[in-house]
Amino acid sequence: MDIAYFPGCSLHAMAHEYDRSARLVCERLGINLVEVEDWNCCGATAGHSLDHELALGLSARNLSIVNRMDRGEVTTPCPGCFSRLKTAVHALVNSESMTRRMEKRLDATLSRLPGVTHLLQLLMEARGLRGLAQPVVKPLTGLRLAVYYGCLLTRPHRIVQFDDPEQPSSMDGLLQALGAETVKWSHKTECCGGSFAASEPGIVIDLGGQVLEAACRAGAEAVVVACPMCQVNLDSRQDEIKKERGRVHNLPVLYFTQLMGLAYGYSPRELGLRRLLVSPISLLEEKGFF
């Protein structure tokens, strides 16, 4: 099965391990990710915050390339990109004048638009829980995880149309199918501090701190994410949270694809587990994974 793949900027930089683990598990599942040719930034944050048409134009160009590649569907591991691409599809479908304007600017036709999925959604829909559990060689038995969805994977529901925006369960189901235990907790879809990591880190320390605290209170040993921004916000500020709030969490924050890869038998090196700031290695050793 071939599918157009939109990695997005983060996966070509800090979240390299997300890209790598995503490609590995897809390969194992017989899903061939074909990268969108010369893709550009999706228009997240700065784009839509300052210039609506520019953000729309950036996503429209990516969609037009998927069309040109003759792919009916594009998948992305980043909820930020997912949200922008879905929003653009929605805006174009609902406005003929906007579609004409973008077609003129891009010199492309946008009358037909590709379907957009988040990678988690693609895996669930293409293989189902049974299919996703089938390659498991090392079940994640004994791992107690807080599965964190963040904002844009399920919101706004009328645009993204994936899972339940208040009580999502798809990723919990996946991790359970891989053998892990997932905790019931309060902050599944609360915000991690989003794009303020550099410009207003206090917001990330505040909101990310709440998420980590809730995960700890629920008895989780690690947090699972499907978003490069959530990962970096929750992973990188635990020292400051300790300093400012006096709470020690020391919770590893892993991508769901890394845990799938682990269950499928890939090594920590292949999955980039050592690239995470709060190391998951001792926890995984303690549980007997290697």
Partner 1 sequence: MDTEIFTPLRLDEIDSALQLELKEKLDIDIEACLECGKCSGGCSNGHIFDYTPRKIVQLVKIGDEETLAGMDALWICLSCQLCLDRCPSGIDIPRILDYLREKAVTQGVRASRPDVHLFMELMLEEVRDKGRVSEVPLMIRFKKKTGQYLKDAGLGFRMFLKGKLGFIPSRMQKPEDLKTILSERKSENKG
Binding of partner 1 at residue 157 (CB under 8 A)? yes
**Judged by CB under 8 A, which of 61, 118, 127, 188 binds partner 1?**
61
**Judged by CB under 8 A, which of 2, 27, 51, 96 binds partner 1?**
51
Which one of the spans 10-18, 117-125, 139-147, 259-267 is the region binding partner 1 (CB under 8 A)? 10-18
Q: How far is the C-alpha of 92 from the C-alpha of 98, rounded, in Å?
A: 6
E strand intervals along the chain: 2-5, 32-35, 73-76, 115-118, 144-147, 181-182, 222-225, 253-255
In the complex, minimum distance from the CB of residue 274 to partner 1, in angstroms, rounded to a whole number: 7
Identify which of residues 43 and 175 has a Cβ nearer to partner 1 in the complex.
43
* φ and ψ of 78, to 5 deg: -100, 120
Residues from 220 through 279 that contact partner 1 (CB under 8 A) = 236, 239, 274-277
Binding of partner 1 at residue 99 (CB under 8 A)? no
Size of the site for partner 1 (CB under 8 A): 56
Token pair of 31, please? 């899903």
Identify which of residues 135 and 165 has a Cβ nearer to partner 1 in the complex.
165
Helices and strands (DSSP H and E) totals, the chain: 14, 8
**Residue carrying structure tokens 């990330």:** 204
Which one of the spans 49-57, 110-118, 217-225, 256-264 is the region binding partner 1 (CB under 8 A)? 49-57
Identify which of residues 65 and 124 has a Cβ nearer to partner 1 in the complex.
65
Binding of partner 1 at residue 137 (CB under 8 A)? no
Count of Cβ atoms closer than 10 Å to residue 250 Cβ? 13
Binding of partner 1 at residue 57 (CB under 8 A)? yes
- Per DSSP, the three-state class of 21 is helix
Tell me the CB-side half-sphere exposure of residue 69, using CA atoms within 13 A: 23
**Judged by CB under 8 A, which of 39, 185, 266, 289 binds partner 1?**
39
